[in-house]
Amino acid sequence: MCGISAIQSLSGATLAEDKSQLESQLRASIKAIGHRGPDSSGVYISEDGSLGLAHARLSIIDLKSGQQPLHDVINTIHAVVNGEFYDYADIRKDLEAKGCQFLSSVDSELIIHLYQTYGQNFIHRLRGEFAFVLYDSKRRLLMAARDRFGIKPLYYTVVNGKLMFASEMKGLVPFGWKPEWDAESIMQYGEFFDNRTVFKGVYKMPPGHLLTCNRSGQIENRIYWEHEYPHAALEDPRSVQEMIEGVRQRLVDAVRVRLRSDVPLGVYLSGGIDSAAVAGIASALLKEKDPNAKLMTFTLAFPAREDVDEGPIARRMAESIGAEIHMVAPTEEDLVREFPRSIYHTEQPTMSFHGTGKMILSKFVHDNGYRVVLTGEGSDEIFGGYFFLMPDFLRAADPAVRRLGIPLPTDEERSLILQELESSGLRQDHFSLRKFSFQDGQLGRELVGGISTYTMFAAGCLSDAAFVPRHLYNSNLTVTAAEGLSPDARRKMCSGQWHPLHGSLYISTKIILRNVLLNALGDRVEMANSIEGRTPFLDHYLVEYVNTLPPSVKIMPLVEKVICNGSIRNWKFTEKWVLRQAVKPFVTEEIYKNTKAQYNTPIARPAPEEKALTPLQIMVKSRVTKEAIEKLGWASWDYFEEVLRDYLSSSPECPSDGGLDKRARILLIITSFLILQEKFHVPTWVCDS
């Protein structure tokens, strides 16, 4: 895992008066993201001085060689790569049979020879988590791409005729990019709903896309991979057991290829089935080679909140597979102290300590001498693990399982359960800032065939009262979110070609997964401490298979009891059912039976008689000031002053789900922006109109 950056003149002109000046910019760029690759660094400058590549390396495979930038034997193809490619040995063997000459045994070199052999179509042959920039000097063609799900970050912008890339936005500054607020994106939540960021003109490279820039300076960004789901009306010919075995086989293989490493490797372990499955499979695979092998697992524990602490469950799981467990238990003081650093690394606002907790965990892993961890990210968005997916599961029948003998609610029963869910009043979740109903956001839902997933996303957004230039605020945030999706995907949702659950899962992967979880809880807080995270659940062979499975094996209906002489049945629904069956041999009975619990970083409840401010209250009091808010230029001091006053004058609420007081969430969001302004030296935003 590494950090990369690149700069290219769109006109083909020299980027600097002399190459030493450009080299200094490249080295400064890579130094800004040096935490991503502390072991070595390198730069490449084209002969005409119109392009530069830079790389910071975290050595995982082939520790002695494998320096980057990479080059072919005749020095015409050059590349910088961040990430890991799997099936390396088989692909290399095939390429060598075709005459390719490898200069190292590092997996990143694959893209040089795959490009030589297959042209731009080589990207379909890559398996793993990656972002790269490749330059063909003979054709003066630049290519940049990001993996299928957005596991590895890559940002780009154009400034004064120069196309720039970096693994993190801070790496763009030495190239001459000056951070400015994108107030419209901030108020429309472009950072979370589409490819925008909080900074003007800087975009996230979309997952599953390949960007090319030719010798004329023309930029094209095209899709090379997309989620696909079966037609909702088609019966599935497979047996349920075949589906279970198909998931198990592919997940085991996904874990197996990710165990390859020349440095110590561990697994993040919580009390959930996702990380437990990865740990259980990894332990079994290691013991196949060495019966005495002992897997190392790392866990976040919160003993001060026994009601939501997953530490004891994780310990029992580790003991059951003979793994060694290491626990770190951050206090509220720890979370508050590390919060600014986590914002600097994730480069996006947040309403929680989730990312901070994960960053503390990755530092704990690093301090224990490890560099690679396997994680459970992606399972909920692929297998259906969120409570807010239930209405969309019930929104349509599931003809795909008609012949499989799975008990299904009748149309009348589905309608009654759905009506009860959607009319059960307002709900609150630790992801949200306001209560919401599954009937909210009708305008946006019309664009995606009535799917209600958006309602929870919009509930996590600040109200228009938080902003000064309210004319830029879009109250129909569900519309903004829908418009950020592929038109083809929206067509399939609206036409009924995709079952509503599959449409809902698609939306979850495009919003929650790529824009929040893989950034704020994944790569950025891992690489902040030079830790490489690997995500078996996002192996595209596994995902493509799971996407073909019927909705009713992802969320399995079960008759709990019969009411009124059999006329109406009481239904229970098990989330991620097919995954549970597939991994049952690898996890404890306790974890197999547990229902989904959201990851959280709970803080201790203050004693009833405690009158002093908590560490979190002290932080927001010191940072959220009139001067600081007005310096942003787009935020309303009146709004945040009222929230702050109310929060400081009463004892903080501690929701039973382990989340934060709603007022604290609002204040953490604005504190995030204040930290970004401080770290990036962002000038005050001024309204144009």
Binding residues for L-glutamine: 107
* Neighbour count for residue 290 (Cβ, 10 Å): 8
Q: Beta 324-328 vs 265-268: how paired, if at all?
A: unpaired
Strand partners, 123: none
Number of alpha helices (DSSP H) and beta strands (DSSP E) in the chain: 28, 19
Catalytic residue among 2, 100, 461, 654: 2
Helix H, strand E, coil C: the string for 226-286 is CCCCCCCCCCCCCCHHHHHHHHHHHHHHHHHHCCCCCCCEEEECCCCHHHHHHHHHHHHHH
Count CA atoms within 13 Å of residue 352 on its CB side. 24
**Dihedral Cα 327, 509, 386, 83, nearest 10 deg:** -10
Neighbours of 428 (CB within 10 A): 15
With b for 16 or more beta-carbon neighbours within 10 A and e for fewer, the 32-60 pattern comes to: bbeebbeeebbbbbbeebbbbbbbbbbbb
Examine the residue annotation and report whether 2 is marked as an active-site residue of this protein: yes
Q: How far is CA 685 from the centre of its chain?
A: 29
Q: Which residues contact 215 (CB under 8 A, 6 or more apart)?
A: 12, 139, 140, 141
Binding site: residue ranges?
107
**Of all helices (H) and strands (E), which one includes residue 52?**
strand 51-57
Identity at 138, one-letter amino acid code: K
Asked whether 537 and 377 are in contact (CB, 8 A), the reply is yes
Q: Confirm if 2 and 40 have CB atoms less than 8 A apart.
A: no
Report the candidate in 11, 411, 348, 300 with the shortest Cα–Cα distance to residue 170.
348
Query: What is the rounded distance in angstroms from the CA atom of residue 252 to the CA atom of residue 679?
Result: 42
Q: Is the dihedral of CA 39, 334, 152, 213 positive or negative?
A: negative
Q: Determine the Cα–Cα distance for residues 239 and 405; give it in Å rounded to an integer.
A: 10
**Share in percent of the chain as helix, strand, coil (round to 5):** 45, 15, 40
Catalytic residue ranges: 2
